[in-house]
């Protein structure tokens, strides 16, 4: 079966090369009994790949079961997976078969495998290596023939280094890894997915489908989608149900998109947490400033696109004429024709001397801010000291650092 046929059969939408690569690996490994580990962020659609592997394997006529390891309490998960004998614990009124016994000859999908307790990990490793297990409260060794496919949105190598996951189990599960790409890694599929979801909800709720403007499409493409395909589907459903106007523009989209945690605001980090994800405090602050500058450039592009589409009001153009022209210059673009024809504060448009003087004075308000990390730190420290009348302890609390660190930085920057 080719990749396109697999997509149609399992309802997978997209043409991203990374997505096609993941499907191709699943197709190639399916005829074997090799253990597969599927990784990827939450909401990327990892649950489709175990089904592909099972239905393209020789076990396709055998049982298939998906188990969410994170949804089963730690005290009962061994019983759920391996079964138990009557009287083995309080409430065990009858003997019970576990999933590994029930799915003998088939495939078991262990979702959120990183949530398994350490003792359960030992039991799982034994099944993977020998096919043997023991029910809770029993002494008899049983055998099972089960193909295991596991999935996680956790970095298992990090979990191993932190002692939260067994290293031997990690390598046993990771015989063949399949990486499911995040939505921001397959931007070319975003609009296609949104239109599919919109059409589905239009049919479900018996209403006209949504139509995206060009600027709305650009907003969707540029968004980071921390919730991936699941988040995009939820957005399509919200818009389908709530919005009466079926023509969706960027302004409407922004009302439904939350502030992304991956797009941080400038904050100071406490000294007790000097590193986040391997980054130092200085690197984080520099990254914040870089992200802010990138966001400003994205906003400039959106404003110019709205100008060209005639979506900016006349009053806004008159009030911010000098800013609009500066944005156009920064983007290396001409001032939109619709703007030029209306003579809104554009040099050479026959303005009065007073308007020219106002225009020539305006640029000083838009000098690009310095991105020097030292200047930013020094300025924040001086402002905090001034606010608290030189009291270092209160200034340190305000900045989120220790008094000792503040004293060191005062000496470093020569703050009087």
Asked whether the beta carbons of 101 and 142 are under 8 A apart, the reply is yes
pTM as predicted = 0.62
Q: 3-state DSSP call for residue 351?
A: coil
pLDDT of residue 339: 46
Per-residue pLDDT at 192? 96
CA gap 415, 383 in Å, rounded: 11
Closest by Cα among 57, 95, 60, 98 to 77: 98
Determine the Cα–Cα distance for residues 360 and 377; give it in Å rounded to an integer: 33
CB atoms within 10 A of CB 270: 11
CA distance linking residue 225 with residue 182, whole number of Å: 8
Instruction: Compute the distance between CA of residue 339 and CA of residue 325 in angstroms, rounded to an integer.
Output: 10
Highest mean pLDDT among 16-20, 73-77, 329-333: 16-20
Q: CA-CA distance, 49 to 26, in Å (whole number)?
A: 7
Neighbours of 204 (CB within 10 A): 11
- pLDDT value at residue 284: 65
Phi and psi angles of residue 375, each rounded to the nearest 5 degrees, phi first: -60, -40
- How high is the pLDDT of residue 381? 84
pLDDT at 365: 45
- Residue in the structure block whose two tokens are 């005829």: 31
Residue 16's nearest CA partner among 243, 179, 242 is 179
| Token code pair at residue 150 | 């596991």
Hey, which of 319-323, 334-338, 400-404 has the most confident mean pLDDT? 400-404
Q: Which domains does the chain have, with CATH numbers?
A: 3-181 (3.40.50.300), 184-256 (1.10.8.60), 275-357 (no CATH), 373-413 (1.10.10)
280 or 97, higher pLDDT: 97
pLDDT exceeds 80 at position 337:
no
Query: Confidence class of residue 345 from pLDDT cuts 50, 70 and 90?
Result: very low
Q: What is the pLDDT of residue 319?
A: 63
Is the pLDDT confidence value at 7 over 90?
yes
Weakest-pLDDT range from 68-77, 170-179, 342-351: 342-351
pLDDT the model gives residue 107: 97
Closest by Cα among 60, 68, 73, 132 to 100: 132
Beta bridge partners of residue 212, listed in sequence order: 248
Half-sphere exposure for 273 (CA within 13 Å, toward CB): 7
How many H-runs (helices) and E-runs (strands) does the chain carry? 20, 13
Residues whose CB is less than 8 angstroms from the CB of residue 301 and which lie 6 or more positions away in sequence, other chains included: 218, 331
Check residue 414 and report its DSSP letter: T
């Amino acid at each position: 079966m080719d990749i396109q046929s697999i997509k149609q059969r399992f309802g997978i939408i997209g043409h991203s090369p990374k997505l096609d690569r993941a499907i191709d690996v699943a197709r190639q490994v399916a005829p074997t009994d090799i253990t597969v580990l599927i990784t990827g962020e939450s909401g990327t659609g990892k649950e489709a790949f175990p089904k592909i592997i099972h239905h393209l394997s020789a076990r396709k006529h055998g049982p298939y079961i998906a188990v969410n390891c994170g949804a089963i309490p730690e005290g009962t998960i061994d019983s759920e997976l391996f079964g138990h004998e009557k009287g083995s614990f309080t409430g065990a009124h009858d003997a019970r078969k576990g999933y590994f016994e029930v799915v003998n000859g088939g495939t078991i999908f262990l979702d959120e495998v990183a949530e398994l307790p350490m003792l359960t990990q030992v039991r799982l490793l034994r099944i993977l290596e020998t096919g043997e297990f023991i029910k809770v409260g029993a002494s008899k060794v049983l055998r099972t023939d089960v193909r295991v496919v596991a999935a996680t949105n956790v970095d298992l190598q990090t979990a191993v280094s932190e002692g939260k996951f067994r290293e031997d189990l990690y390598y046993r599960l990771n015989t063949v890894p399949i990486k499911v790409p995040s939505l921001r890694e397959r931007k070319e599929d975003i609009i296609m997915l949104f239109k599919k979801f919109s059409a589905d909800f239009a049919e479900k709720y018996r209403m006209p489908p949504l139509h995206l403007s060009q600027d709305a499409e650009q907003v969707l493409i540029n968004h980071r989608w921390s919730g991936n395909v699941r988040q995009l589907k939820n957005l399509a459903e919200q818009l389908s149900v709530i919005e009466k106007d079926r023509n969706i523009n960027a302004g409407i989209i922004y009302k439904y998109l939350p502030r992304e945690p991956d797009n941080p605001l400038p904050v100071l980090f406490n000294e007790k947490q000097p590193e986040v994800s391997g980054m130092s405090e200085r690197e984080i602050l520099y990254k914040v400033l870089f992200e802010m500058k990138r966001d400003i450039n994205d906003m400039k592009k959106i404003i110019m696109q709205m100008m060209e589409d005639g979506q900016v009001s006349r009053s806004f153009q008159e009030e911010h004429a000098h800013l609009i022209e500066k944005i156009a210059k920064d983007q290396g673009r001409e001032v939109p024709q619709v703007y030029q024809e209306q003579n809104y504060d554009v040099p050479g448009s026959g303005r009065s001397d007073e308007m020219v003087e106002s225009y020539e004075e305006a640029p000083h308000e838009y000098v690009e801010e310095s991105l020097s990390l030292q200047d930013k730190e020094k300025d924040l420290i001086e402002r905090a000291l001034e606010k608290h009348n030189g009291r270092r302890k209160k200034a340190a609390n305000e900045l989120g650092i220790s008094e000792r660190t503040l004293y060191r930085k005062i000496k470093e920057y020569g703050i009087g």
